[in-house]
Amino acid sequence: MDVEQNVRAELMSLLRDDFDCEEEVQLRTIGGQSVRCDVLAIPRDEEFSMCGLAFECKRPTQDWHYAPWSRAIKQAADSVGAEVIDPRFSDVGIVKAAFLYPAPMLVPRGMPQPANDLIREGFEEAIAGMFHLALMFRVGKAGSVPSGKKPNMSLGLGPNEVWNAHRGFTKNGRNLLLGGRPIGSSNRR
């Protein structure tokens, strides 16, 4: 039984107005390993059309402390920089960033935390720190909040929103996805 199928369908529904999406797309990592991303999203925005975005879909619960989030972030990081080998997406090249969906919406320390049913109480700061570090590997959070007629889907790397369903790609998105930033401590871009 595919426990993530409904999560993938929900994600693709939230992205469908701005991205072309496909489930379970094969990738080849920099080390030559074959991996699969749960969803590959290709932006319809011409400026970002070569930025393949990989998504890892999970079913987090309040029992998730830092270890399950850590494993999920590592799994998503394997997709970043990987070559899209699925022939339907040969124009994309490599995956520019990866996102966990759904991911907890966390705010900086000292600000009130929103009600969060995705994190075990007491682990907010540790998990926020992991996502901040994950920014260096171009791994981020994907989530939505109710907003008018349709939810406001958002993609973020660390504390930076890179795309929003109501506004599109942000200035941070241009810098983080199109700019020549290294990934981790390596010079791969």
Write out pLDDT tens, residues 75-86.
999 999 999 998
pTM of the model: 0.87
Is a pLDDT exceeding 50 seen at residue 116? yes
> Phi, psi (5° rounding) for residue 83?
-85, 135
Is a pLDDT exceeding 70 seen at residue 132? yes
- Residue with the larger pLDDT of the pair 154 and 61: 154
Give residue 57's pLDDT band: very low, low, confident or very high (50, 70, 90).
very high
Give residue 7's pLDDT band: very low, low, confident or very high (50, 70, 90).
very high
Residue in 87, 90, 145 with CA at minimum distance from that of residue 117: 145
Amino acid at 52: G
Find tokens 């109710």 and name the residue.
146
CA–CA gap between residue 125 and residue 166 (Å, rounded):
28
Residue 52 in contact with residue 92, Cβ under 8 Å?
Answer: yes
Write out pLDDT tens, residues 30-42.
889 999 999 999 9
Residue 120 in contact with residue 62, Cβ under 8 Å?
Answer: yes
CA–CA gap between residue 83 and residue 85 (Å, rounded):
6
CA–CA gap between residue 184 and residue 189 (Å, rounded):
10
**Bridge partner list, 159:** none
